[in-house]
Amino acid sequence: MLSIALSELTQIFRNRLVLLNSFIIPVAVCVFFVYKHETFEELRSLGYIAAVVMFTVAAFGLYATTVTTLASRRQTLFLKRLRSTPAGDAGILSGLVLPVTVLALVQVTAILAVLAAVAGEPDNALLLVVAVLSTVIMMLALGLATAGVTNSPEHAQVTTLPISLGAIAVANWVAITGTQELTLLKRLLPGGSATELVLNAWNGGVPVAESLPLLLPTLAWIVVSATLAARLFRWEPRR
């Protein structure tokens, strides 16, 4: 698995499209939000900035890159060749997505650390860690599921749009308007409950016991996405 991961890390830095999705777009957006934190703090809260940062990186840096990478490796028959090696299916997929997952976690951690340094620390750092990790796992699972219906890297630019843009839109909607109205709908949408969890973790004011149940919708999306991925994922291009 590690040899596959190292090889994939090298490919990430060589592929301009993947590099753009993984680094430039997420970092540019996040730097803007952190730089303008005073303006957006007046709009809603620092938790709003944290949630948008997290989902920008998770959507573009992790989700879209995962789909593009797997579609590309399938198209070039690299996935098929890997299955002829001693590595199992789980080890192959883990090796392919490990680099981009680690990079996404590093980006989110670094940017949120800068936000905390310039604007104030979160109320509950441990709860924030739980929110970030659960969101990363959810977006990764969604990426594996989407890769099953994506034929090529070019096709990935279309298939990833609904979830990537949708997750960011939901994060903004929940962070700005709260969940006092349409509570169930907002929490069940991908990213809704995770955004609320980030808001509670950063802004405080909500007991941890009341925040933890917000993990359930995210965990449900992980289970659904993993099930779809197991059924839809293909190792060879369609003929």
Asked if pLDDT for residue 89 goes beyond 90, the answer is: no
Return the pLDDT at 218: 96
48 pLDDT tier (thresholds 50, 70, 90): confident
200 or 83, higher pLDDT: 200
236 or 186, higher pLDDT: 186
If 0-12 CB within 10 Å is exposed, 13-18 middle and 19+ buried, where does residue 28 land? exposed
Phi (first) and psi of residue 108, to 5 degrees: -60, -45
**What average pLDDT score do residues 192-220 get?**
92
Instruction: Establish how many alpha carbons lie within 13 A of residue 61's alpha carbon, considering only the half-sphere containing its beta carbon.
Output: 28
In the chain, the amino acid numbered 163 is I
Asked if pLDDT for residue 134 goes beyond 90, the answer is: yes
Contacts of 46 (CB under 8 A, 6+ apart): 37, 115, 119, 120, 122, 202, 203
In a domain, 34, yes or no: yes
Return the pLDDT at 32: 65
Range of the domain at 30: 2-232
Domain count, the chain: 1
77 pLDDT tier (thresholds 50, 70, 90): confident
Asked if pLDDT for residue 39 goes beyond 70, the answer is: no
In a domain, 237, yes or no: no
In a domain, 41, yes or no: yes
Return the pLDDT at 25: 60
In a domain, 62, yes or no: yes
In a domain, 124, yes or no: yes
- Provide the mean pLDDT of the chain: 84
In a domain, 150, yes or no: yes
Rounded to an integer, what distance in angstroms lies between the CA atom of residue 141 and that of residue 69?
Answer: 14
**What average pLDDT score do residues 143-166 get?**
91
In a domain, 219, yes or no: yes
| Weakest mean pLDDT among 112-126, 138-152, 166-180, 218-232 | 112-126
Asked if pLDDT for residue 43 goes beyond 70, the answer is: no
Rounded to an integer, what distance in angstroms lies between the CA atom of residue 130 and that of residue 199?
Answer: 13
In a domain, 121, yes or no: yes
